[in-house]
Amino acid sequence: MYELKVDGMTCGGCVNSVKRALQAIDANARIDVDLHSKTVKIDTAVELHAVKAAVEDAGYDVLSAARKLRL
């Protein structure tokens, strides 16, 4: 699981855009996008660099990204 801090998300359309970008690289990923905190959590086997690239290619800036342990 990865957690990213994303800049540039301002509305529900932005949330959907980020989700679509991530679903394009892993259709089975569990994705949670929180507009208020500007965070994205994704549970995927895809490498972190690809996750970051997908978000950035969708037009958003990834301010930080880290692997989180599953509980």
Range of the domain at 38: 2-67
Please tell me the predicted confidence (pLDDT) of residue 71: 60
> What is the Cα gyration radius of the chain?
11
Q: In sequence order, what DSSP letters do the residues of 29-69 get, joined into one string?
A: -EEEEETTTTEEEEE-SS-HHHHHHHHHHTT-EEEEEEE--
13-69 pLDDT, tens digit per residue, is: 999 999 999 999 999 999 999 999 999 999 999 999 999 999 999 999 999 999 987
Q: Give the number of domains in the chain.
A: 1
Please tell me the predicted confidence (pLDDT) of residue 69: 79
Count CB-CB contacts under 10 A for residue 7. Answer: 11
The CATH number of whichever domain residue 10 belongs to comes to: 3.30.70.100
Residues 6 or more apart whose CB falls under 8 angstroms from that of 59 comprise: 8, 17
